Amino acid sequence: MTEAARPRSHGRVRVSVSAAPRDLLEERPRLAGAWTARVVTLFPEAFPGTLGLSLTGRALAAGLWALETIDLRTFGEGRHRNVDDSPAGGGAGMVLRADVVAKALRQAAAGTPAARDRWPVVYLSPRGAPFTQATARAWAAAEGVTLLCGRFEGVDQRVLDHFAVEEVSLGDFVLTGGEIAAQAVIDATVRLIPEVLGNAASAQDESFADGLLEAPHYTRPAVWEGREIPAVLQSGHHAEIARWRQAEAEALTRQRRPDLWAAWLARQRRDR
């Protein structure tokens, strides 16, 4: 492995589990068994980005999860390290080359389990299956994930087929590149790792935990611009508060997300 091609780690804690020389300072082996995101990208400098802040940033620094970037450029062809070429059949833009992406994916696979439920290999793509809270839960239960960030028009289809890469989308819109999407899915996943989200209870209550949107929140001051906090929330009756929140969550979901509401109703009927 060349120095340039070595995955770059973004945590701070260094608990060496390998025989690698101590002076490779940017290489920071993860705490044994820590959940790891490996990101193949043309823009490693975009990481850790927002993942370096707050909850996810503190957990990263503490070694509770690990982030490694693999710079696609280092696998490029020729003096200019070309990674892309014009689309077969014509059309606008450029396509990331199968052979170049394959080299990066092979490096990303080193030391990872082949079973995709233990280590999903994912291309962020608007054509992918929608990323949901269920996806985040499944990935958090894995040992790590490899994320391929596209650029330009995307990636040569053959490399996706060859490595059986799963395509996952952030939503029905088109980003310029996969890096923001990668950060979003890593954020959603990492916060479900029990040691990362300190107060694990809050993950149980929040939106989508039971298939409903979350009830509205309020905090001090008790009256603001003439608007009061709903009286029930100040009543101290925990059962009533829970009932109110459930009713609000159901009403909000019914109004805003008919798709989630239909799925929730179907589940209620089935579970009864």
Q: What's the CA gap between 30 and 35, in Å, rounded? A: 8
Q: Residue 178, interface with ligand SAH (CB under 6 A)?
A: yes
- HSE of 12, CA atoms in CB hemisphere, 13 A: 8
Query: Which residue in the shown chain puts its C-beta closest to ligand SAH?
Result: 150
Nearer to ligand SAH by C-beta: 146 or 169? 169
Q: Residue 164, interface with ligand SAH (CB under 6 A)?
A: no
Residues numbered 42 to 101 that lie near ligand SAH (CB under 6 A) are none
Binds ligand SAH (CB under 6 A): choice among 111, 113, 130, 171: 171
Q: Residue 126, interface with ligand SAH (CB under 6 A)?
A: yes
- E strand or H helix that includes residue 242: helix 238-256
Q: How far is the CB of 32 from ligand SAH (least distance, A)?
A: 31
Binds ligand SAH (CB under 6 A): choice among 59, 154, 159, 190: 154
**Helix pair 238-256, 258-271: axis angle to 10 deg:** 130
State residue 188 phi and psi, 5-degree precision.
-60, -35
Q: How far is the CB of 268 from ligand SAH (least distance, A)?
A: 31
Written in H, E and C, the secondary structure of 15-60 is CCCCCCCCCCCCCCCCCCCCEEEEEEECCHHHCCHHHHCHHHHHHH
Binds ligand SAH (CB under 6 A): choice among 60, 160, 181, 193: 181
3-state secondary structure of 226: coil
Interface residues with ligand SAH (CB under 6 A) are 124-127, 149-151, 153-154, 169-171, 173-175, 177-178, 181
